[in-house]
Amino acid sequence: MEELVPSSSEPLSPQTLASFRSLIINPSTPQSKISSIFETLTRSLQLTPDSLVLNLLSELASRHSNLSHLVFDSVRSHSLLSSESTRLAAESLDALASISNTEPTLSSAIDELDDRLFVSLCFGPSVSVRSWLLRNAERFRISPYVLLTLFLGFTKDPYPYVRKIALDGLVGVSKSGMIEDHSMINGCYCRAIELLGDMEDQVRSAAIRAVSAWGLILVASNPETKLYWSDDLFVKLCSMGRDMSMEVRVEAFDALGKINVVSEDILLQTLSKRVLAITKEKRSLGQCPAEQFEILASNVAGVLVHGLEDEFYEVRKSACHSLRTLTIISAEFAGEALNLLMDVLNDDSMFVRLEALETMLHMATYGHLKVQGTHMHMFLGTLLDSNTLIRSATRRILKLVKLPNIELFRLSFDSLIENLEKHPQDEADIFSVLFHTGCNHGKFVVSAINEASEEIDQASEGKLGFDSARVAALLVLAISAPLSHGEHFCSIPPRIFSYAVTLLGRISRALTDIMDQNALLAYLSQCSISTTFSATELNIRRGEPCLPVANIEIPNDSSNEINGSTRTSLHQEKDGASELQSWTMREPLELAAPLGGFQVEVHDEVMKPINLILAKVKDIWSSIHSGFTNEVLRTLRNFKEELATFTSDSVGTIDAVAFTLQYLQVIKQLAKELQILELVLLTCTLRLCKVEICCHFATLKKLSTTVSRVESILKSATIEPTIFISEFVLCGRLDQIKAELTIPDNDSENPLPFVSRLPVGIPCDITLHNTSNENKLWLKMSMDDESTQFVFLDLNLYGSSDKVWNACLRMFCLSKNMGVQNVS
C-alpha cells in the first residue's frame, strides 16, 4: 500500500487515482487500506482541490458507509467552504448531496447549508454551473420562497437554456404546494404568459408548461373565480395552438387536455374557424375593447380543427388526446367533436387513429358518445384495419355504445362478422363484444335471432355447421338476451341455448370477465329448459363476476353427476373399452332459488318412454363399434319417429322432446362419421412421429386395433370413407426412412487440407435406410459466403442390402475461406 500513496504534497496522478478506485470498489480490500486511501484523498483535497478526488471520495462514502460522515465533513470544510472556484464549489455541493442520499442521517446536515451560498453560486460567471444548480435545486432543500424568487429572476436570463430551466423550476415549485399567496401565484402566471412570446422554441414550450401549472392553481384557489381563470387559461393556451414550432403546438394541446372547466361557447368556438354569434353575445372572452376581443376570438376560433388537421402526426395525436377531457365538459361540444373524430379515423398514422378511438372510448365511458347513422360506416370500417390495436379499440367502444335503432344494430353485427372472417384470431374478443352488445340491446337481439332461427336450425342439422362464423356469432348473441337490462321477457327458443353448448369452450374463453366455464354451462342448461323469465328473475346485475344461475353442480373429471337430477353424456373408456354414459331425466326438475321456485312439470306418460329411449341409446354404442351402422341408424330413426308421436303442449314436454331429439342427432353423427376413431388414428400417428417416444409398441398396438375397427365399419359399405381414412395406410408395418451422412477424416484437430481459392474435394459416406431406388435424393452444402451447392444422386448407381443403401462420393467446391456451414 505504501508504494501507492505519495509521500510528498504533489497532486495525485491519474494512475494513482485509478489504483485507488480499483481498491475502493473491491469488496475484498482490507479496511486499513480503505482508511489510508481516505486520509490520502483528504490531504490531497486540502492541498489541491480536484474534481477527480471529489468523485473518488463520493464513491468511497457510498461503498463504505462507516466513512460517510468523515467524507462529508472533509468535503464541506476543505472543498466547499474554502474553494474560490464556482465550478469546484458546485461539484462539492453535488458530492455532498450524493453522500447524504446514501446516508439518511446526513440529511439534516444538508439542511444546514446556507441558502445564500447556493444563491451566490447561481450568480457566478459560469453559465453551465448556473444551469446545473437551477436544474438540481430541489436536491439541496432550498426554501420554496427563495427558489421562487430565484427562478422568477432567471426567467430574464440572456441565455435561452437558463430561461427554460428557470421556467421548469417554476413548474416544480408549483407542484410542492408550498406557495399559497395569491399575488405570488398570479405573478408566476403572468410572468410565464410573457414568455409565451419568447423567440426560442424551447423557452415557449417551457412557458406553456408553467402557464398551465400556475393557471390551474389559480383555477382551484377560489370557487367563485374558477370559471373566470379557467376561461382565461384556456384562451391563453389556444393562442399557442398555431405556433410555428411543432413541439410548442404539442405542448399547447397537451395543456388544453388538463382543463376540466370551460365556458361552453368558448369550447364550441374551438371547433369553428369562423367567430360564432354566441361567442359575441356571451362575451366569455372578457369585457375588453372590440379590437382585443377580435384577437382573442381569432386565437380560439377553430384551434382544435387546426390541431386535428396538423401536418405532424404528433400534433394531431395530442389534439385528439385533449378532447378526452373537453368532451366531458359539454354534451353539445362532444357531439360536434365526434364529427371531427370520425374523419380522423382515416388518418395515415396508426398512432393518431388509435388516439381518436381511445378518445371515443373515453366519451362512451362517460355517456357522451352519441353515435349517428352517418358515423357508423366510417367507425365500423376500423374493424377491418390491419392493426390489432385499432380493431381492439373499436370493439371496446362497441361494448359500451348504445345503438338507437335495429338497423345500426344489424350493421354492427355484420361488421363484426366481417372482422371475424378476415381476422379469425380476434374470435374471443369479438364473442365478448357480441355478448355485451346483446346485454345492452335485448329487444334487438330477440328480433335478430327470430329472423335467423331457421339458419341456426339448418346448422344444427349439419347443413351449414356451427363452424360458420355467422352462426357461431348468432349463438353468442342469442345467449346474451336473457341478461338484457329491462323487464321484457326473453323469447329466444330454448333449443338455441342447447346449440350454444357445442361452442362452450370457445364462448367461455370470451366471457372470462363475466363467468367461468362452469357457470356458463349451468346458465346454458337452465336457459335450454325455458327462457320465459326476465333478467331480474335471474338476479343478474351488471358488473357481477359470476352468474347465480341454475343450482347445477358441474361435474369434474371424476364424476358424471349433475346435482343428482341429471346425468351428462360423456364418452369414457373403461378397461380399454369405450362406452356411452346415458342421460336420465327425473321429475320435477328444480331450478335455483333466484328463479323464485320455478319448476318444469313433466307428465309421467311422456317422461317414461323418453327415459326408456335414453336408456336404450347406451346399448347401441357397442353396435356402433362393431360396425352395424345400418342397424344403428335404423334404431335411431325409430326413436325419432316415436318422439314425434308426443303431442303434449306443456312446456316441460316440449323441452324434454327437443333435448332428446338433439341427443339422438349427436349419436347419429358419431355413428356415421367415425370422428372419434379418426381422432384416435391421428393421435397415434402423431405420437409415433416423436423420436423420444418410449411406448411405441403400445401405440402401434392401439393403432392396429383402431385400424381394424375402421376396416370393419367400412366393409359394411354403408358410408363412404373420409379423405383422412382414404389416405391412411390401413395395413402393413411402419418403416422409418432415415439418412446418415458422415465426412471421414475430418474433425477440429485434423481438418480437411485445402489451398485457398482452389477446388477441394469433400468425401461423404451416406447410408440410407428403407429407401427404394424410386426415391429422389440430393446433397446440399452451404458455404460461409452464403453460396449453396446441390448434388443429385441416382440410387441405381449404388448397391443395396435389405433396403439399406451405401454411397460414397466426393463433393467439390471452391475453397475461398473453406468454412462449410452445413452439409445435409
How high is the pLDDT of residue 106? 72
Per residue in 749-794, pLDDT (tens digit) is 777 777 766 777 778 888 887 777 777 777 777 766 566 777 777 7
Q: What is the DSSP letter of 157?
A: -
Q: With a cut of 60, say whether residue 817 has pLDDT above it.
A: no
- The confidence band for 694, taking pLDDT boundaries of 50, 70 and 90, is low
Least confident piece of the model among 59-68, 200-209, 796-805: 796-805
How high is the pLDDT of residue 824? 46
Per residue in 364-373, pLDDT (tens digit) is 998 888 888 8
Cis amide bond preceding 744, omega within 30: no
Q: With a cut of 70, say whether residue 13 has pLDDT above it.
A: yes
Q: Are 188 and 149 within 8 A, CB to CB?
A: no
Per residue in 249-305, pLDDT (tens digit) is 999 999 999 999 998 888 999 998 887 766 555 555 554 545 566 677 788 889 999
- Tell me the average pLDDT across 136-143: 82
Task: Round to whole Å and give the CA distance between 236 and 194.
Answer: 11
Q: With a cut of 70, say whether residue 594 has pLDDT above it.
A: no
How high is the pLDDT of residue 557? 34
3-state secondary structure of 235: helix
Question: 650 or 64: whose pLDDT is higher?
Answer: 64
Listed by start position, the domains of the chain span 12-142, 413-539, 544-735, 738-821
CA neighbor of 56 nearest in space, from 105, 3, 95, 15: 95
Task: Round to whole Å and give the CA distance between 167 and 203.
Answer: 8
Cα distances (angstroms) measured from residue 647 to each of 441, 547, 587, 644, 696: 35, 35, 19, 8, 56
Q: With a cut of 70, say whether residue 558 has pLDDT above it.
A: no
What pTM does this model have? 0.63
Task: Round to whole Å and give the CA distance between 395 and 165.
Answer: 44
- Please name every residue paired with 813 in a beta bridge, in sequence order, or none if there are none: 760
For every residue of 796-812, which 3-state class applies, written as one string?
Answer: HHCCEECCEEEEEEEEE
Rg of the chain over Cα atoms, rounded to whole angstroms, equals 41
Q: Which cell is 729 given?
A: 395406410
How high is the pLDDT of residue 577? 35
Q: Which cell is 492 given?
A: 329466444
Q: Which cell is 181 given?
A: 399567496
Q: Is the dihedral of CA 692, 695, 701, 706 positive or negative?
A: negative
- Work out the angle at residue 682's Cα, subtended by the Cα atoms of residues 680 and 683, and round it to the nearest 5 degrees: 65
How high is the pLDDT of residue 249? 96
Range 127-133, long-range pairs (CB < 8 A, 24+ positions): 127/159, 127/161, 127/162, 128/87, 129/86, 129/87, 129/90, 130/154, 130/157, 130/162, 131/159, 131/161, 131/162, 131/165, 132/90, 133/90, 133/93
Q: With a cut of 90, say whether residue 206 has pLDDT above it.
A: yes
Q: Which cell is 114 given?
A: 446556507
Question: 693 or 38: whose pLDDT is higher?
Answer: 38
Residue 169's φ and ψ, nearest 5 degrees, are -65, -40
Q: Are 357 and 345 within 8 A, CB to CB?
A: yes
How high is the pLDDT of residue 648? 60
Q: With a cut of 90, say whether residue 666 has pLDDT above it.
A: no
- The confidence band for 245, taking pLDDT boundaries of 50, 70 and 90, is very high
Q: Which residues contact 766 (CB under 8 A, 6 or more apart)?
A: 739, 740, 741, 779, 793, 805, 806, 807, 808, 809
Task: Round to whole Å and give the CA distance between 632 and 668.
Answer: 8
Q: Are 466 and 483 within 8 A, CB to CB?
A: no
490 burial (CB, 10 Å; 0-12 / 13-18 / 19+) is buried
Question: 544 or 641: whose pLDDT is higher?
Answer: 641
Q: Which amino acid is at 512?
A: T
Cis amide bond preceding 555, omega within 30: no
Pairing status of strand 738-742 against strand 800-801: unpaired
Q: With a cut of 70, say whether residue 734 has pLDDT above it.
A: no
How high is the pLDDT of residue 584? 38
Task: Round to whole Å and give the CA distance between 333 and 234.
Answer: 15
CA neighbor of 582 nearest in space, from 552, 556, 615: 615
Dihedral, 232, 236, 241, 245 alpha carbons, nearest 10: -160
Cα distances (angstroms) measured from residue 571 to each of 568, 580, 667: 10, 5, 11
Task: Round to whole Å and give the CA distance between 240 and 198.
Answer: 12
169 burial (CB, 10 Å; 0-12 / 13-18 / 19+) is buried
Per residue in 425-448, pLDDT (tens digit) is 999 999 999 999 998 888 899 899
Instruction: Provide the CA 568 distance to its chain's centre, in angstroms.
Output: 38
Q: Which amino acid is at 323?
A: L
- Please name every residue paired with 789 in a beta bridge, in sequence order, or none if there are none: 781
Task: Round to whole Å and give the CA distance between 506 and 424.
Answer: 12
- Please name every residue paired with 761 in a beta bridge, in sequence order, or none if there are none: 812
CA neighbor of 170 nearest in space, from 204, 213, 233, 229: 213
Percent of the chain predicted with pLDDT > 70:
75
- Please name every residue paired with 577 in a beta bridge, in sequence order, or none if there are none: 574
Element containing residue 822 per DSSP (H, E): strand 820-823
Q: With a cut of 60, say whether residue 690 has pLDDT above it.
A: yes
- The confidence band for 717, taking pLDDT boundaries of 50, 70 and 90, is low
Least confident piece of the model among 278-292, 377-391, 466-480, 562-576: 562-576
Mean pLDDT of the chain: 77
CA neighbor of 379 nearest in space, from 394, 400, 368, 393: 394
CA neighbor of 304 nearest in space, from 357, 257, 342, 260: 257
Q: Which cell is 545 given?
A: 363476476
- Tell me the average pLDDT across 380-407: 92
Question: 742 or 605: whose pLDDT is higher?
Answer: 742
Task: Round to whole Å and give the CA distance between 244 and 254.
Answer: 16
Q: Which cell is 307 given?
A: 390541431
Highest mean pLDDT among 6-20, 574-588, 684-698: 6-20
Task: Round to whole Å and give the CA distance between 614 and 695.
Answer: 38
CA neighbor of 761 nearest in space, from 688, 695, 815, 722: 815
Q: Are 580 and 569 within 8 A, CB to CB?
A: yes
- Tell me the average pLDDT across 586-590: 34
**Count of Cβ atoms closer than 10 Å to residue 713 Cβ:** 23
- Please name every residue paired with 801 in a beta bridge, in sequence order, or none if there are none: 804
Instruction: Please give the span between the terminal C-alpha atoms of the chain, in angstroms, as a whole number.
Output: 62
Question: 662 or 306: whose pLDDT is higher?
Answer: 306
- The confidence band for 220, taking pLDDT boundaries of 50, 70 and 90, is very high
Question: 493 or 317: whose pLDDT is higher?
Answer: 317
How high is the pLDDT of residue 215? 95
Task: Round to whole Å and give the CA distance between 198 and 808.
Answer: 84
- Please name every residue paired with 571 in a beta bridge, in sequence order, or none if there are none: 580
Task: Round to whole Å and give the CA distance between 318 and 253.
Answer: 6
How high is the pLDDT of residue 665? 82
How high is the pLDDT of residue 672? 67
Start-end of H helices in 650-695: 651-673, 675-688
Q: Are 824 and 780 within 8 A, CB to CB?
A: yes
3-state secondary structure of 82: coil
Task: Round to whole Å and give the CA distance between 389 and 395.
Answer: 10
- Please name every residue paired with 814 in a beta bridge, in sequence order, or none if there are none: 759
Strands (E), 407-539: none
Task: Round to whole Å and give the CA distance between 357 and 393.
Answer: 6
Question: 312 or 87: whose pLDDT is higher?
Answer: 312
